[in-house]
Amino acid sequence: MELGSGVAIAGVVVAGGGVAITAIRSFAKDGKSNGHCADHSGMCQRVDGFESWLDKIESKLDRVIERRVNPRE
């Protein structure tokens, strides 16, 4: 997979996650405790895990970019 394709796919995944979170927030405002549904904490953990996964990919992409800028001699 090319670098640009990987970045594009990651962007689509992040955007899709944002849409999903917005949809969940709009449905969860039905008088639940503190405005959160019962699955709120689980969703927060999944989002945190997803963000850490994206951070790992970002660091790997940074290394690949550095290698392309500074090729081995």
Digit-coded pLDDT (tens) for 17-67: 777 777 777 766 655 556 667 777 788 888 888 888 899 999 998 888 888
d(CA 49, CA 58): 14
Q: Count the domains in the chain.
A: 1
pTM for this entry: 0.42
Task: Show the domain range for 21.
Answer: 3-69
Query: What six digits make up the tokens of 18?
Result: 């944002």
Q: Quickly state the pLDDT bin for 72 (edges 50, 70, 90).
A: low
d(CA 57, CA 64): 11
State the burial class of residue 55 (Cβ atoms within 10 Å of its Cβ: 0-12, 13-18, 19+): exposed
